[in-house]
Chains A and B, each alone.
Chain A
Amino acid sequence: MQGINTQAAPSASVVLPHYIFAAFSFLVLTVLIFASGNSFIGHYFSPRLLAITHTGTLGWGSMIIFGAMYQLIPAILQIKLFNEILAKITFCIMALGIILLVYSFWIFDTGLPMQAGASLTFVAIVLFCVNIFFTIRKIKNWTLEADYILTSTLWLFLTAAIGLFMTFNFRKVFLEESHLLYLKIHAHVGFIGWFLLLIIGVASKLIPMFLMAHGLNKRKLSISFYMINIGLICLLVYWYLFTDSLLTWIFIIPIVIGIFLFLSYLLQAYNNRLKKGLDIGLKHSLIAFLIVLLSLASGIAACFESKINQDFLSQIILIYGTSILLGFISGLILGQTYKTLPFIVWLHKYKKLLGKQQTPLPKELYSEKIASWQLITYIIASVIFITGIFVSNKTTITFGGFFLMISAVLYNINVFKILFHQTNPRQ
């Protein structure tokens, strides 16, 4: 076919292991949360929260994003993935690294397991960055999506590098400033630089496509790109040089403006949409974009830490982190799984039968009913869990964790239903 780059998608064996590992990690994440109610009451810098956060950000979030990017970059940017074998090696190293890292955080063994886990994860992330860099280099017509993807990859590298230094610093102190400062920098480079920029770059292409929305103002995304990057750089330099947070609110202004420009772009897509009914994937995504407002509110409140009681500050920071990881990132991934995974599996199973026999639609590969219950339990879990942190009540937090676990079980059932789908052409 002239005009589109056919046969660009990588083989399913590159992409699917990422989805399997991520789905299982999400389940483990919810079990760890359910078993750690107390950890969401005290200070945010605790071994269990480190284990939970890294299960979420690496095992769940980054792993599924790696797989999705290998699949989507060829489609979005019209190029073939640089090296599929490298992607498979990256997956194996990353999986081993994450398991070691999370285990060592959970038992807080700062010895070999933690350093080996962090080193393996770092190597895997470097290999991922290399693969993406050499893939993107082949683009003939540079796009804004490519800007977002490339920049987010660079921020991911920085996140991993800081994380690696921190784990070695646990063993033998060589960094000048406190761990809390590096943790703050590490977390924000990861959340804003890696996750947020990548999500904006990919979602700004996919969401309007799924909604069938056209005539959107892409200039908003362009301004958003510069606002977020400049804001993040200024914020990091300020934190590192001044090691206080008094003026943090000034440097987050461009980031907040950038996020609102992106949300306004999505709102325009929603209003211009031709596809009126929202499927389960888009409903999940919509909720994720609403939850980001809570992340913004709690993040802005945390900027004024000197004026807030320390216990309350810890609660606000926990709500901030939880709403980003379990709300924004997880909500979006839960939704987009239903938009990407069925199609990937469907293409893999039915490509040779297309045109020869009638085939099911990708959305028929999973149970809509299970997906709906997953969404309902996820919403209930989010409300109860955030409330529990806000009122510092362990029972409420555990109750929220329980619903989250139910949601993760339902998600896993559907993911494995898709993965083990048996080819069944309609007669």
Chain B
Amino acid sequence: MNTFGDANSNEIRIYDILKTVLDPELGINIIDLGLIYEISFSKETGIKIIMTLTTEGCPMGDAIDTEIKEKLKQGFGGFHVSLEVIWEPQWTAERISHEGRIALGIE
């Protein structure tokens, strides 16, 4: 799983784009919520995102999916975008960033 530390410049760009995608219910971006598990990019296979949602069956899933794909299409025109939502490992509060915690009123 990508820890973002060894990411190439394209993956950093993808990370920055995903930081602009908000969960419509919470108004917090999906990076700060800790929803993104893995970002990978190669010229051969395109962009691959592995992510989760805070709850299985979350009605916001569709909207988040659409926004991610649209924004990545604009930033990386021509590359295939593959988005996979997984439920294991399950999302936990520990994944929320410091900024996300402040926005939620936890800190």
- Closest-by-CB residue of A relative to B105 is A276
Q: List 17 A-B contacts (CB under 8 A).
A: A1-B84, A3-B84, A3-B86, A4-B53, A4-B61, A6-B61, A77-B57, A208-B55, A209-B55, A209-B58, A214-B92, A343-B24, A343-B25, A346-B24, A351-B63, A355-B73, A361-B27
A347 within 8 A of B: yes
Partner of B106, one of A71, A208, A276: A276
Complex CA distance for A71 and B59, rounded to whole angstroms: 9
CB distance from A41 to the nearest CB of B (A): 44
- Closest-by-CB residue of B relative to A344 is B59
CB distance from A393 to the nearest CB of B (A): 43
Known contacts A276-B106, A361-B27, A9 near B84 by CB under 8 Å: no
Interface of chain B residues 59 through 104 with chain A (CB within 8 A): 59-63, 65-71, 73-74, 83-87, 90, 92-93, 96, 104
* Cβ-defined contact, A354 with B63, below 8 A: yes
CB distance from A277 to the nearest CB of B (A): 5
Known contacts A2-B85, A209-B58, A355 near B105 by CB under 8 Å: no
Residue-by-residue, is A47-81 near B (CB-CB < 8 Å gives 1, otherwise 0)? 00000000000000000000000011001111000
* Cβ-defined contact, B70 with A356, below 8 A: yes
* Cβ-defined contact, B63 with A347, below 8 A: yes
* Cβ-defined contact, A351 with B22, below 8 A: no
- Closest-by-CB residue of B relative to A277 is B105
A212 within 8 A of B: yes
Residues of chain B with a CB closer than 8 A to A276's CB: 104-106
Complex CA distance for A277 and B103, rounded to whole angstroms: 10
A245 within 8 A of B: no
CB distance from A69 to the nearest CB of B (A): 13
Residues of chain A with a CB closer than 8 A to B87's CB: 3
CB distance from A192 to the nearest CB of B (A): 26
Complex CA distance for A210 and B90, rounded to whole angstroms: 17
CB distance from A227 to the nearest CB of B (A): 25
Residue-by-residue, is B14-36 near A (CB-CB < 8 Å gives 1, otherwise 0)? 00000001101111000000000
* Cβ-defined contact, A347 with B67, below 8 A: no
* Cβ-defined contact, A4 with B65, below 8 A: yes
Complex CA distance for A276 and B69, rounded to whole angstroms: 31
Complex CA distance for A276 and B25, rounded to whole angstroms: 14
Q: Apart from A212-B93, A274-B96, what 15 extra A-B contacts exist at CB < 8 Å?
A: A1-B61, A1-B65, A3-B86, A4-B61, A4-B85, A7-B62, A78-B57, A214-B92, A277-B105, A343-B59, A351-B63, A355-B69, A355-B73, A361-B24, A362-B24
* Cβ-defined contact, A2 with B59, below 8 A: no
Known contacts A209-B58, A214-B93, A277-B105, A355 near B26 by CB under 8 Å: no
Partner of B66, one of A210, A212, A354, A363: A354
CB distance from B51 to the nearest CB of A (A): 9
CB distance from B62 to the nearest CB of A (A): 5
Complex CA distance for A8 and B24, rounded to whole angstroms: 18
Shortest beta-carbon contacts, A-B, top 5: A355-B70, A3-B85, A276-B105, A75-B59, A1-B65
Complex CA distance for A214 and B34, rounded to whole angstroms: 15
